[in-house]
Amino acid sequence: MKLDNIYQEEKKSNFAKVSEIIITMASRPSGFIGLSILIFHVILAFISPYIAPYDFKAINPTLMLQAPSAEYWFGTDDLGRDVFTRTILGGRTALTITFFGSLIALLWGGLLGIFCGLVGGKTDDIVMRIVDAFLSIPWILAMLLIVSLLGTSTEVLIPALGFFYGKGIVRVARAATHDVIAKDFIVSARARGHSNFSIIWNEIIPNVRDAILVEGAMRWSWMLLGFSSLSFLGFGVSPPTPDWGLMISNARGLMSFAYWSVIAPIVGLSSLIIGINLTADAFAKALGIDRSTKAPV
């Protein structure tokens, strides 16, 4: 019986694993579209300062509210600024802040959730009630309070967003931990006398990592929407820095006669959110397929 040859599978490098997952994701139409949109936005965020045709803050009253033309592709806004320039630059701040915000959310939410799931008992009860209490506060009110007290700098926004979006991850990580905690390999590690840290790092994280990453990717798109809402309300990015939320807010009164000034940032924002959502979905599916390699006997 030469089953050996079939199962002979070299231990893959992490790079090979990641690229395999990405290929699986891209092999479905929805995953391909999502990934393309996301990659397009990320590349755009990097190169937009170099390809922007005009100065994003150059005000020119003579060019107020021009319709799209060969010269100004997406037209101009109420201060005569080029909408195309401002649109391609408008996602940079949002993307950066929410990316790091999600990382923070993943880190503290994931770790706290795993810890609560493992330890259980009174510690778990107390921590989870506190998390519940925070979950019941409308995040936007809390964010407005924080921003108005501490200002709208990046150093304030990233941890604040990270904190508010991490609460949900605590629950997901805790639930995922509960699924593995009852398994015998955890009991076995406990009986051998491993420390809690070692159990979390070696036994639990490899098994809950996927669930938490998928949740984190979902949170990223929500956070993007949330951050844009803050900008829309005037508590995110401060003018004249171009930002989609801010642009939508500024141009919303002109929607009836200068639709171009509001449509471009709307398309930018919603396509990025859809892109992240589709990618997160495909990511979850790619991981799910990887897990069920058993023959359906």
Partner 1 sequence: MTEIIQKVKNLSIGFKSKKGEEILILRNISTNIKKGETVGIVGESGSGKSTLALAMMGYVKHGLFTIGGECEFNSSNLLKMKNRDLEKIRGRKIAMIPQNAGQALTPNLKIGYQIDEALQLHSDLKEEEREQKISELLNKVRLPSPETIALRYPHELSGGQQQRVAVAMALAGTPDLLLLDEPTTGLDVTTQAHVLELLNFIAKDTGTSMVYVSHDLGAIAQVSDRIIVMYSGEIVLEGPSRDILKKPIHPYTYGLLKSIPKLSLAGLPQSMPGSQPQPGTMHRGCSFFDRCDFSEEKCKNNSPQLEYLEELNTSVRCFNHKSLMNDSQVNQTVNKIKTSLQDKEILNLSEVSISYAKQKLLDQVLNRISDENPTVKDININIKKGETIALVGESGSGKSTILKSIAGLLRTKGGIIKFDRNRNLSSDLKERDPNDLRIIQLIFQNPDESLNPNHTVEEIIAQPLKLYFGLKGEQLKKNIIDLLQKVRLGEFYTSRYPRQLSGGEKQRVAVARAFAAKPDIILCDEVTSALDVSVQAAVLNLLQQLKEDFGTTYIFVSHDLAVVRAISDRVAVLYQGRLCEVGPSKDVYQFPSHPYTEVLLGAVLEPDPDIKPKLVAEDIVEEKPPQKGCSFQGRCSRILGDICKNEVPPWQITNSGNSIRCHIPLKELQKDQIN
Residues that bind partner 1 (CB under 8 A): 1, 3-4, 6-11, 183-185, 187-194, 198, 202-203, 206-207, 293-297
Residue closer to partner 1 by CB (options 38, 204) is: 204
Q: Which is nearer to partner 1, 5 or 256 (CB)?
A: 5
Residue 213 CB, nearest approach to partner 1 (Å): 14
Alpha helices in 121-153 (DSSP H): 121-135, 139-150
Least gap, CB of 294 to partner 1 (angstroms): 7
Q: Give whichever of 144 and 289 is closer to partner 1, judged by the CB atom.
A: 289
In this structure, the number of other CB atoms found within 10 A of the CB of residue 193 comes to 7
Token pair 């979006």: residue: 165
Could you give the CA distance from residue 35 to residue 166 in angstroms, rounded to a whole number? 24
Question: By C-beta, is 61 or 192 nearer to partner 1?
Answer: 192
Q: DSSP assignment of 233-264, as one string?
A: TTSSSPTTS--HHHHHHHHGGGTTT-THHHHH
Neighbouring C-beta atoms of residue 221, cutoff 10 Å? 21
The least CB distance from residue 9 to partner 1, in Å, is: 7
- In angstroms, give the least distance from the CB of 80 to partner 1: 58
Q: Tell me if 261 sits within 8 A of 83, measured CB to CB.
A: yes
In the complex with partner 1, which residue's Cβ is closer, 141 or 191?
A: 191
| Residue 209 beta carbon to partner 1: minimum distance, rounded to whole angstroms | 8
- Residue carrying structure tokens 């090979």: 16
